[in-house]
Amino acid sequence: MMEQHREEDEGAVPVSPVGQYFNSSVLRIYIIGVLEFQVRLDESQAIPLLQRLFLPINPRFSSIMVEDKRRDKQWKKVQVNLKDHVKIPSFPDCESKESYNNYFSDYLSRIAIEKLPQNRPLWEIHIVNYPTSSAASTLIFKLHHALGDGYSLMGALLSCLQRADHPSLPLSFPSAKPSKSVSKGFLGKFSSTMSLACNTVVDFWWGILKSSVIEDDETPIRSGFKGVETRPLTISTIEFSLDQIKLIKSRLGVTINDVITGIIFYGNRLYMQEINNESKAANCTALVLFNTRNVEGYQSVDDMLNAKAKGPWGNHITFLHVPIPKLESGRISTPLEFIWEARHIIKRKKQSLVVPLTGMLLNMESKIKGYEAVAGHIHGTLSRSSMVITNLIGPSQPMSLANHPVKGLYFTLAGGPESLVISIMSYMGVLRVALKTEKYFIDEHKLSSCIKCAFETVLKAALEFPQPTKT
C-alpha cells in the first residue's frame, strides 16, 4: 500500500517545513492530551465518535506522510482502520485507587516514549477504564506534532466536546485583552527603535550560540545525557487556583503568564538548591514556546479553527531562550522579583525581531542543507537547554463527551531530548501544570513540592504587597 501511495501524486498536500522537522530521523515530537472523566467511558462509542466527529475535522487525521521523487514529504489520504488507532489497556484487579494510580502512571509514561507507526495516520487514543484518584476513567490522545501545534490540535479535540451545562451552546474561553497603546513623541519613538535594534542583535546572536555552542550547566533539572528522548519518563500534575493566580497578577500589575512563569522559575531554583546547593547559581535556560498566529485571544472553538482569521492549520510556533533567574543574584532578593524578572526578560525578547529572523535562518538552512539538518539544529537547541515551557487556555465551562462529564484535562510534549517539560492549561478556574520529567534523574514529587512552595510563598508576599491604586 505504501508503494502505491508513493506512485500516486494526485491529491497529495505538501507537509509544512515545521512538520518535516518534527518527523525526521533525529526528531519526533508528540503531543499527549489527557481527558479525565467523572464516569466510566462507554468503549462501544469510541469508533463511531471518531468516525463522526474526529476524522472530518482535518484531512491530516486520515493521511500518512510519503516522499515524492524530490524526497519532499507530502500528506497522502488513506483509508483509516479506526481499530488500529484505539487502544484499551488491561490492568490487574486492584482494591485501591493508589494501585491504579501507579498502573496508569506507568502506562502513560510508556506510551509517551513509543514511536507511532509511519504506515498509518499519526495519532491514536487510549481508553483507560480504571478509577484513579483523579478520575473514574481517562482518555489519552497521542498526536504527532507534525499534524499541527497545540493551538490547532486542542481546537480539534475540543470541537468533539460540548458544554455539559448547556449542550446547545458553544464552549467559550477567556479572551485576551490587548494592552492599550500609548502614543509616543519623536524621542520616545527613536528610543524604541534603538532598543528594538539592540535587542534584536543581542537576542539573535545569543540564540545562535545557545542553539549551536553554549550549553546550560548540568544541574538537577538537566542531566546532559545523550539520547534523553529514549529514556524512561514520568508525567505528573499540580493544580493551582486560577483566582489566586489572578489575585497575584492584579497585586503586582503583571500578566497571568508572568505569574506562572515566575513561580515555575522560582520553584525550580528551590528544587535545584535542595538537591545541590551549588546549582542555585548555575546557568539555566528555559525555551518558552509561543504561538505566532496574529491572534489576541479566542472565545470559542470555531475561533480556534477559523483558518482565515487565525492563519492556516499547522505549526505556527516559535521559542524564546529565557535565562532562569538565579537565587540571591544581584537582581533577585525576594520571591516576587522572580515574577518581575521573568516579565522583564520575556517582554524585552518579544519586543525584538528575533522571531522572524530565526524563522528566516531556519528556512535558509532548510534550503541549503535540507530538513534533516534543521531537525538536527532544533534537537541541539532543545538538548542544550534546561527545560521547555508551553501553555494553552482551556474552556471556562464544564465539558462533556457524549454525555460523559469531563472532570479535568492537561497535556504535555514527548519525544524531545530535554529532561524537563512544563505544560500549563486552564479549565474551569483551575490551572493544571503538567511535569514531564526524566525518570530516575528528576524527583518529580520533590519538584512538585518545591513549585507548590514557590506558589504559596509568592501568594503570601503578593498579599502583603501594597495594592495598586487607580488614578
- 8 Å CB contact between 253 and 259: no
Number of CB atoms found within 10 A of residue 300's CB: 18
Q: What is the pLDDT, as a whole number, of residue 356? A: 75
CA dist., res. 326 & res. 324, Å (int): 6
Q: What is the pLDDT, as a whole number, of residue 264? A: 96
Q: How confident is the model at residue 288 (pLDDT cuts 50, 70, 90)?
A: confident
- Residue by residue, DSSP assigns 237-291 as EEEEEHHHHHHHHHHHT--HHHHHHHHHHHHHHHHHHHH-GGGGGS--EEEEEEE
Q: What is the pLDDT, as a whole number, of residue 4? A: 40
Q: What is the pLDDT, as a whole number, of residue 8? A: 43
C-alpha closest to that of 195 among 353, 342, 323: 353
Number of CB atoms found within 10 A of residue 51's CB: 12
Q: What is the pLDDT, as a whole number, of residue 296? A: 53
Beta bridge partners of 123: 143
Residue 294 has pLDDT above 80, yes or no: no
Q: What is the pLDDT, as a whole number, of residue 112? A: 95
Q: What is the pLDDT, as a whole number, of residue 5? A: 42
Phi, psi of 25 (to 5 degrees): -75, -20
CA dist., res. 81 & res. 85, Å (int): 7
CA dist., res. 18 & res. 145, Å (int): 9
**pLDDT tens column, 93-122:** 887 888 999 999 999 999 999 999 999 999
Q: What is the pLDDT, as a whole number, of residue 102? A: 94
Query: pTM of this prediction?
Result: 0.88
Q: How confident is the model at residue 2 (pLDDT cuts 50, 70, 90)?
A: very low
91 CB-near residues (< 8 Å, 6+ apart): 100, 103, 104, 107, 130
Same topology for domains 2-163 and 186-395+418-463, yes or no? yes
**pLDDT tens column, 45-72:** 999 999 998 999 889 999 999 988 777 8
Select the more confidently predicted residue: 167 or 79.
Answer: 79
Average pLDDT over residues 213-239: 94
Residue 385 cell numbers, joined: 537547554
Select the more confidently predicted residue: 320 or 224.
Answer: 224
**pLDDT tens column, 126-180:** 999 999 999 999 999 999 999 988 777 777 888 888 888 888 877 776 655 544 5
Q: What is the pLDDT, as a whole number, of residue 154? A: 76
- Of 2-6, 8-12, 85-89, 370-374, least confident by mean pLDDT is 2-6
CATH numeric code, 2-163: 3.30.559.10
Q: What is the pLDDT, as a whole number, of residue 354? A: 75
Q: Across all residues in the chain, what is the average pLDDT?
A: 85
With cell 535594534, the residue in question is 197
CATH numeric code, 186-395+418-463: 3.30.559.30
Q: What is the pLDDT, as a whole number, of residue 307? A: 47
Residue 191 has pLDDT above 70, yes or no: no
3-state class of 59 per DSSP? helix
Average pLDDT over residues 430-434: 96
Every domain of the chain and the residues it spans: 2-163, 186-395+418-463
**pLDDT tens column, 328-337:** 755 566 889 8
**pLDDT tens column, 335-376:** 898 999 888 888 887 777 777 777 788 888 888 888 899 899
3-state class of 21 per DSSP? helix
CA dist., res. 34 & res. 436, Å (int): 13
- Of 280-284, 406-410, 439-443, least confident by mean pLDDT is 280-284
Q: What is the pLDDT, as a whole number, of residue 3? A: 41
Q: What is the pLDDT, as a whole number, of residue 204? A: 75
**pLDDT tens column, 238-251:** 999 999 999 999 99
